[in-house]
Structure 1
Amino acid sequence: MKTDDFIRVLAADRRRHRPLRNTLLMALPVALALSALALWLTLGFRPDLMQSLTLPLSLARFLVTGALGFAGLYVSLNLARPNGRKGAGLGLLLLIACVALGLMAWAYITTPPDARLMATYGKSMFTCLLTIPVLSIVPAIVILTTLRQGATTVPALTGFVAGLAGSGLGAAVYAMYCTEDSPLFYVTWYGLAILAVAATSALVGSRVLRW
């Protein structure tokens, strides 16, 4: 290619791309609204939803899953940049995991031994394991699609963290239905559902985020 031709190509490629963060800020609320609508039309919201928010252990479900979702977004956006620090924010994800495990340990200690099994398995284990991944599909797709506009050098890891973000937010949506307030239940089964989505997203990300 001649120098003049190369200059013309560079000049033609001066389009300003919207930052990935702005794209997510526009698309993700719509995705979460669709997930919430799907939950409301199928399972509905728990009747005492507003009252449950005054109970610390019940409120913790929203705080932990929401924190995981937003922390995952922060880390995945950083990983989407080729010059981003690979470890930036990963400590935050670890901290959230430690908080969740701390809640679980506290619940185990304070729950009578003969009630621990029921508190762990609850009455909606299978509903939880099925519904959280379903509610996470649209948010995870939105996040992965947005990250494709980046240039990650670790596509599998980026996909995994994107899956944590999407499923963390999906779990927060599911919490509007769930009546299981013990951390023995929601740390166990929410956690397994979230990890399943993240593992799937890692596989998808290793393909679609490669460049």
Structure 2
Amino acid sequence: MNTDDLIRALAADTSRKHAPRTTLLLGMIPSLSIAVLAVWLVLGFRADLLAAMTTPVSVPRLVLTGLLGIVASRLVLRLARPEGEQSARFWPLGCIGIVALGLLVWAFLTTPPDAVQMAVVGKTMTTCLIAIPLLSVLPVATLHHVLRNGAPTAPLRAGFVAGLAGSGFAAAVYALYCIEDSPLFYVTWYGLAIMGVTAVSTAIGARSFRW
């Protein structure tokens, strides 16, 4: 689309649209509510959820995945604007990744050698790799809707942060069920599930957000 076509399209569009932040909230609240309800009805919350939410080794699952969703969502809102590419800062995502990697190394060094394999594999690896991508569908779709209603000039990056945000929130919701407390498990398998969703979102965004 050249400049003249864009001007004509903007002039012809007289419909009022919600601000990106409002669109995000209106879509994300029901999307995450449905995800929480799905986990509750299909998998069930872990019996000791309240205790797990205060256990130092376990609580980072919720904190890191929730922070990933929030930080990446802020980047989505920024990249939805034409000028957002210049002001987007990705270093907070790197900080979250470094903390997760630090937890993984710490768990590896402090877990008895004969227990490392069991801690990595756990009992719910397959459930994790299936559930997180499924729970990501609505949040990622919401974020893609926000970006399509905006004017992103970096389609690849926009799809990337949309995938990180949606799957980060989905992993946080899944953590309400997950009974695996070791970072060897949740950093590994949550991370792989998040990377898979992000790769798909990036590929879709590279095409659908292109002007």
Fold shared per TM-score above 0.5? yes
Kindly report which structure 2 residues correspond to 1:1-211, keeping only aligned pairs within 5 A, or say none.
10=11, 16-86=16-86, 88-211=88-211
Distance 1:157 1:20, change over 3 A: same
2 CA distance for matches of 1:19 and 1:56? 38
In the TM superposition, what is the alpha-carbon distance from 1:18 to its structure 2 partner? Answer: 2.0
What fraction of aligned residue pairs are identical, expressed as a percent? Answer: 52
- Secondary structure of the residue aligned to 1:65 is helix
Deviant stretches of 4+, over 6 Å: none
- Secondary structure of the residue aligned to 1:26 is helix
Deviations 1:4-36 (A, max 9, x none): xx9xx95x7565532101111122011000011
2 CA distance for matches of 1:118 and 1:44? 23
2 CA distance for matches of 1:86 and 1:39? 38
Deviations 1:179-209 (A, max 9, x none): 0000000000000000000000011111221
**How many residue pairs end up in the alignment?**
204
Asked if 1 retains the 8 angstrom alpha-carbon contact of 2:78 and 2:85, the reply is: yes
2 CA distance for matches of 1:91 and 1:23? 25
The two structures have a TM-score, normalised by structure 2, of 0.91
Q: Which runs of 5+ in 2 are unaligned?
A: 1-6
Q: Give the alignment's Cα RMSD to 1 decimal.
A: 1.8
- Choose 200-209 or 181-190, whichever is displaced more: 200-209
In the TM superposition, what is the alpha-carbon distance from 1:109 to its structure 2 partner? Answer: 1.0
2 CA distance for matches of 1:191 and 1:86? 28
Asked if 2 retains the 8 angstrom alpha-carbon contact of 1:78 and 1:86, the reply is: no
Larger gyration radius, structure 1 or structure 2: 1
1 CA distance for matches of 2:86 and 2:172? 26
Q: Which runs of 5+ in 1 are unaligned?
A: 1-5
The two structures have a TM-score, normalised by structure 1, of 0.91
1 CA distance for matches of 2:44 and 2:128? 14
1 CA distance for matches of 2:137 and 2:26? 17
